[in-house]
Chains A and B, each alone.
Chain A
Amino acid sequence: MIIQLILSLGLAGCLFYVMSLGRSSLAMKIALFVTVVIGFIFVWFPDTTSVIARQVGVGRGADLVMYLWIVLTLLFIVRLHLKLRELTEAMTQLARRIALNDTEAD
C-alpha cells in the first residue's frame, strides 16, 4: 500500500496545481481535473484498468495506462510548442518596436 500513498501524494500535488490555475481556460482545467480523478481511480482500484483494457482491446491494464500516458505526453508537447510560439510572437513585437524606435533616434 506504500506505492498507493506515494502516487496519491503526487496526484494531490497535481490537484493543487489545477486549483491554482485560477482564471486560465476552463476547458484546460476540466481536462486536467478529469485526468487527476481518473488517476486516483486507477491508483486505488487498479483492477479497473484491466477491465477497461480488455474492453478496448488492450491485453493488460498496465499497457493501457502506458499508452494513455504516451498520448497525454505528446499532447502536452504540442501545447508547449504553441505556448512557445505565443511567447516568440510577443518577443517579435517587442524587438520590432525597439528596431523602429532606434531608427527614430538616429
Chain B
Amino acid sequence: MTLDLDKVCVIIPAYNEAKMIGKVVEEVRCLFPNVVVIDDCSTDQTMRNAKDAGAHVLQHPINLGQGAALQTGFDYAMAAGASHIVTFDADGQHHIEDVPRMLEALAESGADLALGSRFLGTTVGMTQGRRRLLQAATLFTKLTTGLSLSDCHNGLRVLTAKAVRTLNLRQNRMAHASEILGGIRRHRLNFIEVPVTISYTEYSRQKGQTFSDAFVICRDLIAVKLAS
C-alpha cells in the first residue's frame, strides 16, 4: 500500500480529558505524525497536555459539543490538504493499531469511509447494559436509515477527503453519529466495516453515553428535520 502518512490527519475531540489526552496523543503519534486535538473549551489542562504530547491543538472559545468539534477538525484537515481523516476518541478506548488495517481495507475496497466495529472485533470490559443500548441503537439505525451495520455508534472511523467534503455536520452534540450515517445514506457514500477493539475502562464508562442520551439524540434528529 502506498499511502503518505503525512496526509493522514487524526482528529481527537476532547472535553475535560486532561487525565488521558496526553497518553492517547503519544500513542497515536507513534504511528501517525499529524494529530489534531480539538479542545472543546475544557476547564482543565486538556489543551496544555495535548500540546505537550505533540498534538496540534484547536480550541473552541465556547463549549459546543463533540459533533461540532469533529466538524472543526474536518475543516482544519481539509484546509491542510489531508487525504484521509481518522476520528479517534480522547478517552483511550480506541487502539491506534487498528487504524493501519482500516486504511488498508479502505484502499483495497475503494470505499469512501471505513467504520470501526466492536461487534465484528473484540471488546474488553463491556457491560450488559451497554451492549443492549448499542444493539437498540443498531436497530434504530436500520429503521431510520436502512443501513445494516453491526456497530453504529463507534467513534473510530477513517474518512477519505471526498467523504469529509460531502458530510457537513450540523448536529453539535451527540446526534452527530446518526447524522454521519444519514449522510452516508443520502449521498450514497460507500462504506466498509472493519473489526476493531474497544477497551472499556472505569474512566471511559464514566465519560460514556447513558440510556437517557438516546432521547436527546432522537429529539435533535427531529429538530434538524423540522428546521431544514
16 A-B residue pairs with Cβ-Cβ distance under 8 Å, sorted by A, are A82-B227, A85-B227, A86-B227, A91-B62, A95-B64, A96-B71, A96-B75, A98-B60, A99-B38, A99-B58, A99-B59, A100-B58, A100-B75, A102-B58, A103-B57, A103-B76
Q: Which secondary structure dominates chain A's binding surface?
A: helix
Flag B32-61 by CB within 8 Å of A: 1 or 0 each.
Answer: 000000100000000000000000111111
> B59, B172, B226: which contacts A102 (Cβ < 8 A)?
B59
Instruction: List, in ascending order, chain A residues with CB within 8 A of B223's CB.
Output: 81-82, 85
The answer to the question of B30 belonging to the interface, with a C-beta cut-off of 8 Å to chain A, is: no
Instruction: List, in ascending order, chain A residues with CB within 8 A of B71's CB.
Output: 96
Flag A85-106 by CB within 8 Å of B: 1 or 0 each.
Answer: 1101101100110111011000
Asked if B58 contacts A82 (CB within 8 A), the reply is: no
Please measure, in the bound complex, the distance between the C-alpha atom of A31 and the C-alpha atom of B172, giving whole angstroms.
32
Instruction: List, in ascending order, chain A residues with CB within 8 A of B226's CB.
Output: 78, 82
Instruction: List, in ascending order, chain A residues with CB within 8 A of B68's CB.
Output: 92, 95-96
Residue of A nearest to B56 (CB): A103
Instruction: List, in ascending order, chain A residues with CB within 8 A of B172's CB.
Output: 88, 92
Asked if A99 contacts B56 (CB within 8 A), the reply is: no
B-facing residues in A47-106 (Cβ within 8 Å)? 78, 81-82, 85-86, 88-89, 91-92, 95-96, 98-100, 102-103
Residue of B nearest to A79 (CB): B226
Please measure, in the bound complex, the distance between the C-alpha atom of A92 and the C-alpha atom of B71, giving whole angstroms.
10
Please measure, in the bound complex, the distance between the C-alpha atom of A78 and the C-alpha atom of B225, giving whole angstroms.
13
Residue of B nearest to A89 (CB): B170
Asked if A95 contacts B56 (CB within 8 A), the reply is: no
The answer to the question of B204 belonging to the interface, with a C-beta cut-off of 8 Å to chain A, is: no
Task: Supply 13 further A-B pairs (C-beta < 8 A) apart from A92-B64, A103-B57.
Answer: A85-B227, A95-B60, A96-B60, A96-B68, A96-B75, A99-B58, A99-B60, A99-B72, A100-B58, A100-B75, A100-B76, A102-B58, A103-B56
